[in-house]
Structure 1
Amino acid sequence: MTDTTAKFKAFTLKLVNSGTLTGRSYTPAGSTKKKRPLLVLLHGGGCHSGYYDVDESHTAATAAHALRVPVVSIDRPCYMGTSSLFPIPEDSSFHRETGRWEHSYIFPAIWKTFGEPSNCSAIVAMAHSMATPGLLVAASLHAKSENAEYPLAGLIISGWGCRQNLHSQEDWVKWSGNDRQRNRHIVMLSDPKLRTADVKMRDCLPAQTVDAPPEEAEECVVGSWKECFPKIAASIRVPVMYAVGEHDWLWDGSLDNVKEFSAFFTGCPRFDGSVVQGAPHTIEWSYYAAG
């Protein structure tokens, strides 16, 4: 369970489309005295807004407090108390609708509620894993919008890429057998022998795990995302910072993957990509979280 001593506080917002957005936020003292970015965090598949606020050692509040940067961590559509996207229009898809919601309803509401009152300069949005496609769609829509209701200054992406690690059934049996929870351990934190994170993080997984809509993974594995991605990435006009863990169980943690992924962002003014040595899929839960 997320630490009750954490600095983040739960919130619920009503959106202009009559939907609901839930999450948690933290505004450090003194953050309104000088214009700073508003950091908006988006969790991956099967997680929730607590992904960035697990305990006092693994919380975005630490860096937010040190840098005096306001932070908002949301529950993405179809998660926790945030409204569902369904039914999805026939000419759209899960991630396209997620990005449309983020651009049209969610980011404007967050900016009005947290950004403007805190005297922020712009939003910097960070996506982990399955939150990436929707955020890229939102950033693409923002780039094409002449009257966006929020300023967007940059993107941060982790736990994603172009080259998937395709594990055989034998691999799954070797590492986790038929234990669903251990499967989750392996995906998120990799092989325990690699010591990517504190052992206690494995005990946090049950409270940090929720049901995920199957459509979001299906779209990326057997759906249209691979065909849509190049055009969407090329249309983005803000800087991007990208990282993948060396021991990411889902994605190839190599510089070749970083270079291949970065090559699609042809309109991006700056792309910083790196491999975080020793880190698992959940970089934010690893020994390297502070970085």
Structure 2
Amino acid sequence: MTDTDVVIPRVVQVDGVPLSALVCEVPEPRAVVVALHGGSATSAYFDYPDLPRASLLRTGAALGFTVVALDRPGYGASASHADAVRAPARRVDLAYAAVAELAPPGVGVFLMAHSIGCELALRMAADHRGKALLGLEIAGTGRHHHPVAREIIDAWRADPPRPPGGLRTLLWQPDVLYPSAAVGGARMTSRSPGYEADVVAGWAATDFAALAARVRVPVRYTLGDHELVWRSGADALADIAGLFTAAPRVTVDEQADAGHNLSLGRTAMAYHLKVLSFVEECVLARERE
């Protein structure tokens, strides 16, 4: 890490909606990495207190990238505006406008997203503005649930419902893969906006494939080898990769010794370094155009 890796909270006003973020800036950045957190979390997922080695923002800055971890619409400063950001197109517009306010002009933007945050990232990349992006990383997402998750979801939906008791299993197991300070994510937990229940229930089955087919920038897709929310393994990686039919390049990776929360595990830095290496490759490819 460097002496200049200062993470600053920012709030910008976009069309009457305040949007918050954590920002780590560097002079003359190679690119701007915009990170989108998952459900029931905040931007602190990418810069968790007391875990600097797991920080995407600090690692990115040390390698010459400005990193913006955005609180997705309905989270952070915009939590009270959740009803006003229910429409997917509205959330895409707000996110792009926030990035324009927070990122230095003239620098390429790379999108990185985790879990349900991948829904917004895919919509942004599939949008007509997405062709200007350097690339896209999605992680901890998929189209088909892992059998363990399927069992827990069926228990939630049973009539009468059975006690869930399995969320910790899905998100934080095996606990040996996480620093003790991170397990449970208490210092980044947030109430999810109401619209997210609908997103969780259906977007993977109804919209994932159509959105992926419209992405025209390089894509990287990562699952932890201990992922329990989504079906994992070589076939699952290949299934998602095959959806990006218009992307000039698609790379997949199974992160060793990692569970669902890739950016908070003991291998978080290893994961972030691989993503940032991909960002650098995207920058070089853009320079050759």
> Normalising TM by the smaller chain, what interval?
0.7 to 0.9
Amino acid at match of 2:231: D
1:105 aligns with 2:100: no
Asked if the contact 1:185/1:205 (under 8 Å) is kept, the reply is no
Amino acid at match of 1:237: R
Match of 1:86, SS state, is: helix
Match of 1:64, SS state, is: helix
**TM-superposition CA deviations, 1:223-257 (whole Å, max 9, x none):** 35422222211011011111001111201221111
Residues 201-220 of structure 1: matches in 2 within 5 Å? 201-202=182-183, 205-220=185-200
Equivalent pairs: percent with the same residue?
Answer: 23
- 1:11–1:74: structure 2 CA closer, same or farther, 3 Å change rule? same
**TM-superposition CA deviations, 1:146-189 (whole Å, max 9, x none):** xxxxx3111111101122114325998xxxx9696xx4532322
Worse-matched range after superposition: 40-49 or 154-163: 154-163
Tell me the distance in 2 between the aligned counterparts of 1:58 and 1:224.
29
Give the CA deviation at 1:7. 2.5
- Select the structure with the greater relative contact order (CA < 8 A; seq sep ≥ 6): 2
- 1:60–1:99: structure 2 CA closer, same or farther, 3 Å change rule? farther
Residues 163-174 of structure 1: matches in 2 within 5 Å? 163-167=144-148, 168-169=151-152
- 1:207–1:238: structure 2 CA closer, same or farther, 3 Å change rule? same
Give the CA deviation at 1:144. 7.5
1:276 aligns with 2:255: yes
Asked if the contact 1:42/1:74 (under 8 Å) is kept, the reply is yes
Residues 33-48 of structure 1: matches in 2 within 5 Å? 36-48=30-42
Amino acid at match of 1:209: T
Tell me the distance in 1 between the aligned counterparts of 2:63 and 2:126.
28
Asked if the contact 2:12/2:101 (under 8 Å) is kept, the reply is no
Counterpart position of 2:22: 24
Match of 1:191 among 170, 174, 192: 174
**TM-superposition CA deviations, 1:17-52 (whole Å, max 9, x none):** 221111110113xx31xx511000100000001000
Residues 118-267 of structure 1: matches in 2 within 5 Å? 121-142=107-128, 151-167=132-148, 168-169=151-152, 183-192=166-175, 195-202=176-183, 205-221=185-201, 223=202, 225-267=204-246
Counterpart position of 1:71: 67
Tell me the distance in 2 between the aligned counterparts of 1:107 and 1:129.
19
Match of 2:103, SS state, is: helix
Match of 2:258, SS state, is: coil
Structure 1 unmatched ranges of 5 or more: 1-5, 89-93, 146-150
Asked if the contact 1:143/1:236 (under 8 Å) is kept, the reply is no
Match of 2:187, SS state, is: helix
Counterpart position of 2:278: none
Higher-helix-fraction structure: 2
CA RMSD of aligned residues (A): 2.7
Tell me the distance in 2 between the aligned counterparts of 1:169 and 1:159.
17
**TM-superposition CA deviations, 1:65-90 (whole Å, max 9, x none):** 321110111110111212535257xx
Tell me the distance in 2 between the aligned counterparts of 1:98 and 1:14.
19
- 1:59–1:112: structure 2 CA closer, same or farther, 3 Å change rule? same
Give the CA deviation at 1:264. 0.7
Asked if the contact 1:24/1:74 (under 8 Å) is kept, the reply is yes
Tell me the distance in 1 between the aligned counterparts of 2:113 and 2:185.
19
- 1:239–1:170: structure 2 CA closer, same or farther, 3 Å change rule? closer
Give the CA deviation at 1:113. 3.5
Match of 1:208, SS state, is: coil
